[in-house]
Amino acid sequence: MSDPFVIVGGDAAGMSAASKAKREDPDREVIVLERGEWVSYGACGLPYYVKGEIDDLEDLVAIPAERFREERDIDLRTGHEVTAIDPEARTVTVSPTDGEPYQESYDDLLIATGARALDPPIEGRDHEGVFSLQTMDAGREIRAFVESTDDLDSVAVVGGGYVGIEMAEAFDAHDLDVSLFEMREHVLPPFGPSVGDRVAAELRDNGVTVHTDTRVERIAGDDRVTGIETEDETHDADAVLLAAGVEPRTELASEAGIEIGPTGAIATDADGHTSHDGIYAAGDCTEATHTVTGDPAHVPLALTANRAGRAIGSTVGGDPIPVGEIAGTAVLKAFDLAAGRTGVIDEERAREAGFDPASVTITAPSRAHYYPGGDDIEITLLGDRESGRVLGASMVGTEGVAKRLDTVATALHEDLTAQELSYLDLSYAPPFSPTWDPVLTAGKVLASTLE
């Protein structure tokens, strides 16, 4: 019998790989080494837990550790940190919370170490009342703080990405005065300016103060936080959430000599293989191939991690599956609004990738013009003049945004032209769409612009 399949990290990518490998090859020994206590959890649900829409932190766990151990026969070791990889000896050094370090041999190894919240070098970040939404325990701590601190009136959120926006809504639900600070010109930079501005307007309509183009210089306070200092002003704040983005955890890999890619995440091939024989990487620590540009991209999102983990588990288990390309498809809810993006939507980025881009923005109703309810959807489509291809889309609206993105994501996967996109046979009934779905309308307008 071969040496085990060893997995470093027990969240989405790691546990997907473990489960799939066991299904494909039940006799194979699968060991998961997770330094924390939580496994297979939906960190994406943390803002809704803090908001209070989800009662129990355990509800975010997709599958409890016992079930992996008992039902799936996976040797899942929580409280076991991997501190080194020796690719020559095919061993990892394991440091248990309770116990002596030891070596574990592997035949195949998966690095699924995830990402960490960026720790911006802001003075005062150690004050009491400053948080980041790094972990499940951090989520619990923030909710407890919000629910138990009597004199809590105001919260400052530093960073206008997904987490910042979702957490602004979460804090707002606790009747706190929420201010959000984004250093770039608009919130949600990867979604483009028109979606960013629309989301900022939605936040403001719901009472959140939004500061764009504003760099936070210092967190004021002595022991406990009292405010946020920007270049020009000081804003009161009884608590601060740092949500400046994430970076891949690559130290373990790079110290073992495993190649790091141009994005700063671990480089992998189409099968999730790293530069070293028998060593795979998946999830937020890893690059993936962008389906539009063909270049490596680092988009640390849940589906990418789940897909790649599952594919590597299948490959290791004897049924090779590629990890799949990514389109950078993302969507988020901001109060009543949904905002999403897929592919390449930035013209400069498209030019860098060798395209000759042109974009159109249309507004179309989510239902037939005569059918009550519904709302306008704004769609921006980017295309390539030379090939006629669709390169990406952003969308924003209160109804039917998230799954309309999927049509474009599928089209991107297949290199559809704007004309082809506009002639797809999409679903229509008055309560769900105009006859020409907004995606088709956007495709028509883009096709004539690219001509």
* Active centre residues (catalytic): 44
Q: Site for a copy of itself (CB under 8 A): which residue of 6, 76, 109, 327?
A: 327
Given 104, 172, 325, 384, the residue binding a copy of itself (CB under 8 A)? 325
Q: How far is the CB of 73 from a copy of itself (least distance, A)?
A: 20
Work out how close the CB of 396 gets to a copy of itself at its nearest, in angstroms, rounded to a whole number. Answer: 13
Which range in 64-72, 128-136, 270-278, 414-422 contacts a copy of itself by CB under 8 A? 414-422
Report how far residue 159's alpha carbon sits from residue 216's, in angstroms, rounded to the nearest whole number: 9
| Rounded (5°) CA angle 236-242-245 | 145
93 is a site residue for a copy of itself (CB under 8 A): no
In angstroms, rounded to a whole number, what is the distance separating the alpha carbons of residues 361 and 394?
A: 9
Which of 265, 405, 418, 446 is in the footprint of a copy of itself by CB under 8 A?
405
Binding status of residue 407 toward a copy of itself by CB under 8 A: yes
Among candidates 235, 231, 191, which has minimal Cα distance to 213?
A: 231
Of the candidates 69, 322, 349, 353, which one interacts with a copy of itself according to CB under 8 A? 322
| Closest approach of a copy of itself to the CB of residue 81, in Å | 26
Measure the CA dihedral 331/270/246/232, to 10°.
-70
Q: How many residues does the chain have?
A: 451
- Under the binding rule (CB under 8 A), the answer on residue 435 touching a copy of itself is yes
**Residue 358 or residue 402: which is nearer to a copy of itself going by CB?**
402
Looking only at the bridges linking them, the beta strands covering 234-236 and 80-86 are unpaired
Is position 307 an interface residue for a copy of itself (rule: CB under 8 A)? Answer: yes
Q: Does 419 bind a copy of itself (CB under 8 A)?
A: yes
| Interface of this chain with a copy of itself, residues 274 to 303, rule: CB under 8 A | 291, 301-303
Rounded least distance, CB 100 to a copy of itself, Å: 37
Residue 402 found at the interface with a copy of itself (CB under 8 A): yes
Pick 154 or 306: Cβ nearer a copy of itself: 306
The residues binding a copy of itself (CB under 8 A) are 12, 42, 44-45, 48, 53-54, 59-60, 62, 291, 301-304, 306-307, 311, 321-322, 324-333, 338, 340, 342, 368-372, 400, 402-407, 409-411, 413-414, 416, 419-420, 423-433, 435-437, 439-440
